[in-house]
Amino acid sequence: MAWDATKLKDWQIAEEAEKTMPTVDELVEKLSLKKDELIPYGKTPKVDFLKMMERLKDKPDGYYIEVTAITPTPLGEGKTTTSLGLIEGLAKRGVNVGGAIRQPSGGPTMNIKGTAAGGGNALLIPMTEFSLGLTGDINDIMNAHNLAMVALNARMQHEANYTDEELAKRGLKRLDIDPKNVEMGWIIDFAAQGLRNIIIGIGGKKDGFQMQSRFGIAVSSELMAILAIAKDLPDLRERIGKIIVAYNRKGEPVTTKDLEVDGAMTAWMRNTINPTICYTAEGQPVMVHAGPFANIAIGQSSIIADRLGLKMFDYHVTESGFAADIGFEKFWNVKARLGGLKPNVSVLVATIRALKMHGGGPAVVPGRPIPEEYVKENLELVEKGCANLLHHLKTVKKSGIVPVVCVNGFYTDTEAEINLVKKIVKEAGARCAYSNHWLYGGEGALELADAVMDACQEKSEFKCLYPLETPLRQRVELIAKEVYGADGVDWSPEAEAKAIKFESDPHYADFATMMVKTHLSLSHDPALKGVPTGWRLPIRDILVYGGAKFLCPMAGTITLMPGTSSDPAYRRIDVDTKTGKVSGLF
């Protein structure tokens, strides 16, 4: 039975849903787990990935369903809510279903975005544990990452204080690190703009090496990106040793292996490869694993969780960060390729609200009242805005994955607006379902569940946009034209010089292309809505992630440390001191 999402806050619905949440024993029975495959951790145990994959290695994979979206408003269009609602709807149809989503960061949770736990009756529980650290993966990543920075700063201090002979007595060789060319900074899991640029090592010779440094938010760490794409513990260990921490004065990379800290970093992260089990509000199992940036990294839950989910469930649902031009493109050309996975269906989430914005509606600003155009029927704006939806639908079709458009329902949607979207999508040759999971949970998602089950019977002709042998600049040109709709790419002299260097060095031949671009427009300019035409994609620089093996062409300025707003969520979060229950999360 669904709770009244129009009157109850998400944390209140979660509190009610948790009263009937499956016990650990029920989880073991439901998933047919062996006793040694469960790693106890209160309400949210982990599952032992290595042991389960060994036991299930010969079991056929289930259907692989990915959830993406059209270009969103700044408020988001509910991909996680839809993912959880779809899982609930499929469960109502009696199939063995589960999923995987990203772990939320403390920065958005305590700021304006919230916890990414879905919403209404399509919610992840236990919500407090999910939102506040879960089983410690982000904490382990922070410790491992900051240990690399400790090793770097200590090494620079000792090289400044000691001669080569003194270093040799301690078993060290001079790395000659360039203090003006340090790649890494420190991390903290909050949005703390005051730490974007700092000076460390102030004091005497014993107080560290003095230099400019910085903080990023924890989920921007390359370690989080590595966790999302690692296949297993050996792969994780190898990648950690290749992380570029800084460069020496000759311009050569200095890695965590050079600093002899990679083993200790892996020790901190040894347990992070095991996904954590949570649930939908209706009790279906959902793995939570990894939470990398969507702008720079892959922006989705891990390959490990998907590999495991495809063995555990007959229908496995996952999601990609941001819209299909960013999250889906990386799912298509990076995640599925690296994981050797074959997706069946992609659910493209749209809202009437976002369609109206792309049709020329007024700006939508977080924290401000939504303009009346978005709460009153306006068929003209909806029809014009469908151009953005059709563009993303075309992208999904290029991958060979079978698309299903989901109109994520809001109480302000009218029947005429919904029918108009369905008509336009049908004419484009795709399935379309209206889903009211936020209001009604699984019962509200039956139309969507049926459309997805039907689409799974259609053969997927999955193919990547480009082969791995494609040079970097050609990859970027293809993505810009085929996915974004640009006329071409303009490279800054610095970016093109780097691209030529990477293309000529065999070391980078198998590095993934991880585009860096705003999620608020198909273009590089967040102000351009709908389907912009007559524009070129400017690439100003290329970032390198040696361990994750990413080359990141940058079509905009992306900060690794968000700021905290004037009205953050932490103002409303509190604890009932009599019961210990947390209130105010959303």
Which residue in the list 5, 151, 191, 294 is annotated as catalytic?
A: 294
Whether 438 is a known active-site residue: answer yes
79 given a catalytic annotation: yes
Distance separating alpha carbons of residues 380 and 375, to the nearest angstrom? 14
Which candidate in 410, 470, 481, 564 is catalytic?
Answer: 410
Max Cα–Cα distance, the chain, nearest Å: 81
Distance CA 371, CA 364 (A): 7
Identify the active-site residue in 215, 322, 332, 491: 322
Token code pair at residue 44: 């949210």
Q: Which two tokens stand for residue 264?
A: 């200790």
Is the separation of the CB atoms in 398 and 465 below 8 Å?
A: yes
CB 325 within 8 A of CB 392: yes
- By three-state DSSP, how is residue 69 classified? strand
Question: Which residue among the candidates 49, 69, 79, 215 is catalytic per the annotation?
Answer: 79
Burial class (CB in 10 A: 0-12, 13-18, 19+), 429: exposed
DSSP letter for each residue of 229-275: H--SHHHHHHHHTT-EEEEETTS-EEETTTTT-HHHHHHHHGGGGSP
Contact 574, 584 (CB under 8 A): yes
The count of C-alpha atoms lying within 13 angstroms of the C-alpha of 375, restricted to the half-sphere facing its C-beta, is 5
Catalytic residue at 410?
A: yes
Strand (E) or helix (H) holding 428: none
For the residues of 318-387, what is the DSSP string, one character each? Answer: EEBSS-IIIIIHHIIIIIHHHHT----EEEEEE-HHHHHHHTTPPP--TTSPPPGGGTS--HHHHHHHHH
The residue annotated as part of the active site, out of 113, 335, 431, 529, is: 113
Q: What whole-number distance in Å separates Cα of residue 99 and Cα of residue 306?
A: 8
Cβ-proximal residues to 139 (8 Å cutoff; 6+ apart), any chain: 133, 189
What is the distance between the alpha carbons of residues 518 and 72, in angstroms, rounded to a whole number? 11
In the residue annotation, 9 being an active-site residue is answered as no
Which positions ≥6 away from 62 have C-beta within 8 Å?
96, 309, 310, 311, 312, 313, 314, 315, 316
Q: What is the 3-state secondary structure (H, E, C) of 163-220?
A: CHHHHHHCCCCCCCEEEEEECCCEEECCCCHHHCCEEECCCCCCCCCCEEECEEEHHH
Is residue 190 part of the annotated active site? The answer reads no
Helix intervals (H) in 399-478: 415-427, 437-440, 446-456, 472-478
**C-beta separation of 212 from 181 below 8 A:** no
Catalytic residue among 3, 186, 190, 438: 438
Pick the catalytic residue from 44, 68, 80, 81: 81
- Annotated active-site residue 384? The verdict is no
For residues 548 and 330, what is the distance between their CA atoms, to the nearest angstrom?
A: 14
Q: Which residue has the tokens 């948790």?
A: 18
Is 113 catalytic? The answer is: yes
Q: Alpha-carbon distance 60 to 569, whole Å?
A: 44
Q: Which residues are catalytic?
A: 79, 81, 102, 113, 294, 322, 410, 438
